[in-house]
Amino acid sequence: MTVDPAYWSVADIARRIAAGEVSAVEITEAFLARIGKVDPELGAYLVVDETGARVQAQQVDLMRGANLPLGPLAGVPIALKDMIVTKDVVTTAGSKILEGWVPPYDATVVEKLRAAGAVILGKVNCDEFGMGSSTERSAYKQTKNPWDTTRVPGGSSGGSSAAVAAGLCAASLGTDTGGSIRQPASFCGVVGIKPTYGRVSRYGIVAYASSLDQVGPLAHSVADAALVLQAIAGHDARDSTSLPSAAPDFSAGIAAGVAGLKIGLPKEYFAGEIDADVRTALAAAVAALKDKGAEIVDVSLPHTELALPAYYIVAPAEASSNLARYDGIRYGKRADATDLLSLYSRTRGERFGPEVKRRIMLGTYALRSGYYDAFYKKAQQIRTLIKRDFDEAFEKCDVLLTPTTPTAAYELGAKATPLEMYLGDIFTLACNLAGLPGMSVPCGLTSTGLPVGAQLLGKPLDEATLLRTGAVIEAAVGLGDKRPRGFA
C-alpha cells in the first residue's frame, strides 16, 4: 500500500497506526521518501537519521503486533531543531564549532518523545546557536520558505517551520529565546508554541540564553501542537528552572470556544510600522473572535519599546557565558596552536560565525567588570517592569492578541545589517523576557500569498487559554487546506 501522509494530522497518524490501517514503517518510509525528493530544494534537514527512524518505526509495529500499549505519539514522525541534543546523532546547533559532535545522551524532550512512541526523522537547520531570525546564519545551509523559495523561512527555528509546512514531518520541535518558534511559524503558516518558561525541560538543549530559552512544538494545527506539547511538558529534576507543577491536559479545553473570554489588544503592538496585509489579517482574526462571543478590550503595555534593548543585553550576556564552553577542548574541532590561550581564541575565531562572535562580544562588553550594573542588572530590572505591564494587562483580559511579526516572510538577504535584523523581533521578545507562554497561529495570507501569523500571549502556565483562542482563529481565518505551492 502506498500512503501519502505528508499532511495528515498527528492524531490521525497515531490513530491509523493504532488501528492497524497503516504501519509505522509505511508512514516513516513515506516521509523519508518525501524528504529525499523535496528537501534538496528546501534545505530544512541537516541530518536525516534514516536508520534510527526505521528502527523506531519497526519497534512501534512490533509493539502493536504484540498488543502492547502504544504511546500517544506512536509512529508519529517528528523533526528536531539542531539545538536539541540527540544520542548518537550529530548535533551542531548550526555551528562549525560543533561540527561532527555526536552527543552521548538524549535531551529530556527527546527521551519524552521516544517514550511517547514518536519516530525522530532527523535534525533540522537553524541559525547558529539560535542567534538569528531568518536561518541565514546557519553555518551549513540556507533553508528556504516553502511558500516562496526566494524568501526566508524565519528563524532561528527555520528548519523546524519549513519542514512542517512542506510536509517533511508531522510536527517538529524548535527553541524560542526571543521569538524563534513563533516568528518562523508565522512566516511558514504553521502553529508554534513557546511554553511558559520552566514548563518544558531545558536539559540537553544547547544553551543560548538560559533565562529565556524554551522548547516548544511547531505543527500543522493547534490540536497537533497541543499533543506534542503534552508529550514534552512536565517537571524535570535535571533542569533547576523546571517548574514543579504538573502539566494539565492541553487538548481537553481546545474546543471550549471564546465566549465570555476577554481578549486584550495592546495598543503599543499596533502603533508602529506594520504591513497593511498583516493589519488586515489581524483585523479578520479580531472580528472572528468577537463573532464567537469574545470581548475585545484595549490594553496598554507601556514598557514595550524597552523589550528590544533589554533583550539584546540579556541574551548576548548570557550567551557570552554559555558559549565559553566551546573552546576546542571537550567538543568538536580545534585549531592548531602552541599555547592554550591561542588554542581557545583561534578555535573560537575560526569556527564561530559572524553573528555569534558579535553577540559574544556584545555580551562580554556588557558583563565587563564595572559595567554589570549599567547593562545586565539594568536590563533585568527592565524585565520586571515589562512583567508588571503584563500583570496589569491580565487584570483586564484573559489573553493578548498581537501580530507575530510586522511583515510576512521577507526575501533572502533582505536584512542587510545586524540591527535591521534585530528590529524585526519587536513583537516576540517581551514574551520571553516576562517568561510568558506565547503562540503564533496562522490567520490568513497576504495579497501575494504569504502566511500571516497572529500571536497570542497568556498568563504564566495558561497555555490552555492560548490553545482554545488559537483554535477559534484557526477555524475562522486559518489556512484550512491551503498548502505551499509546489509542496501540496
Partner 1 sequence: MPELPQKEVEEIALLARVHLSAEELADMRSQLGAILEHFGSIAAVDTEGVAPMTHAVPIDLPLREDVPQPSLPPDVALAGTAKRDGDLIVVPAIIPGGE
Catalytic residue numbers, as ranges: 81, 156, 180
Collapsing DSSP states into helix, strand and coil, what is residue 130?
helix
Site for partner 1, residues 109 to 168, rule: CB under 8 A: none
Closest CA to 457 of 436, 485, 434: 436
* C-alpha cell read off for 158: 527555520
Q: Closer CB to partner 1, residue 103 or residue 179?
A: 103
Q: Which of residues 393-452 bind partner 1 (CB under 8 A)?
A: 417-419, 422, 433-436
Pick between residue 33 and residue 237 the one whose CB is nearest to partner 1. Answer: 237
Does 101 help bind partner 1 (rule: CB under 8 A)? yes
Residue choice 358, 414, 445, 462 for contact with partner 1 (CB under 8 A): 358
> Between residue 23 and residue 42, which ones bind partner 1 under the rule CB under 8 A?
none
Place of cell 557570552: 320
Of positions 41, 51, 105, 290, contacts partner 1 by CB under 8 A: 105
Residue from 6, 126, 254, 362 touching partner 1 (CB under 8 A): that is 362
| 334 is an interface residue for partner 1 by CB under 8 A | yes
Distance CA 352, CA 330 (A): 16
Omega of the bond leading into 95 within 30 degrees of 0 (cis): no
Q: Is 1 in the site for partner 1 (CB under 8 A)?
A: no
Cα 286 to its chain centre, rounded Å, is 24
Question: Closer CB to partner 1, residue 61 or residue 268?
Answer: 268
Selection from 94, 121, 108, 128 nearest residue 204 by Cα = 108
| Residue with Cβ nearer partner 1 (40 or 330) | 330
Residues forming beta bridges with residue 151, ordered by sequence position? 411
| Nearest approach, Cβ of residue 99 and partner 1 (Å) | 11
Non-local (6+) Cβ contacts of 350 within 8 A are 96, 335
Q: Rounded to an integer, what is the distance from CA 48 to the centroid of its chain?
A: 19
Tell me: does residue 313 bind partner 1 (CB under 8 A): yes
Task: Tell me 338's DSSP state.
Answer: S
Phi first, then psi: give them for residue 270, nearest 5 degrees.
Answer: -115, 0
Contact between 272 and partner 1 by CB under 8 A: the answer reads no
Cell 538560559 locates to 210
Q: Which CB atom, from 262 or from 333, has the smaller least distance to partner 1?
A: 333
Q: Pick the stretch among 4-12, 30-38, 194-202, 272-280 that binds partner 1 (CB under 8 A).
A: 194-202
Within 10 A of 4 (CB to CB), how many other CB atoms are there? 10
To partner 1, the closest distance from the beta carbon of 236 in angstroms equals 10
Which of 292, 346 has the CB closer to partner 1?
A: 346
Q: Which residue stretch of 17-25, 56-64, 135-143, 323-331 sits at the interface with partner 1 (rule: CB under 8 A)?
A: 323-331
447-486 residues in contact with partner 1 (CB under 8 A) are 460-461
* Of the candidates 264, 299, 176, 303, the residue with the CA atom closest to the CA atom of residue 465: 264
